[in-house]
């Protein structure tokens, strides 16, 4: 359990956000922490539609922990994570 800073961008928004997440957070929780800054503010909410997270060109599963994603993708602090609606 450690704080891990990322830059999160919700696809379609023009404002990136520095977001502190935890290595024990599920990827779905990371998506919510990024989305809260954009959805319902500059982007319309789509209730019931889950989020998906991409690290580089790779989409990661929502049930994986951030620690697992770090190990699999080599994600470093302050790297970009892109969140989008899973459609």
Phi, psi angle pair for 73, to nearest 5°: -105, -15
How high is the pLDDT of residue 86? 93
Residue 55 CB-half CA count within 13 A = 21
pLDDT mean values, one per 10 residues, the chain (87 residues): 96 97 97 97 96 96 96 96 94
How high is the pLDDT of residue 41? 95
Question: Is the pTM higher than 0.85?
Answer: yes
Ranges of each domain in the chain? 3-85
The CATH fold assigned to 3-85 is Ubiquitin-like (UB roll) (3.10.20)
How high is the pLDDT of residue 34? 98
What would the two tokens of residue 61 be?
């599963």
How high is the pLDDT of residue 1? 84
């Amino acid at each position: 359990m450690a704080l891990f800073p990322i830059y999160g961008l919700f696809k379609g928004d023009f404002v990136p956000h520095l977001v502190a997440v935890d290595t024990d957070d599920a990827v779905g929780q990371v998506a919510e922490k990024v989305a809260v800054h954009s959805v319902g503010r500059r982007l319309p909410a789509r209730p019931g539609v889950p989020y998906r997270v991409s690290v580089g060109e790779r989409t990661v599963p929502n049930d994986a922990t951030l620690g697992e994603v770090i190990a699999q993708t080599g994600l470093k602090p302050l790297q970009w994570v892109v969140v989008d609606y899973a459609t």
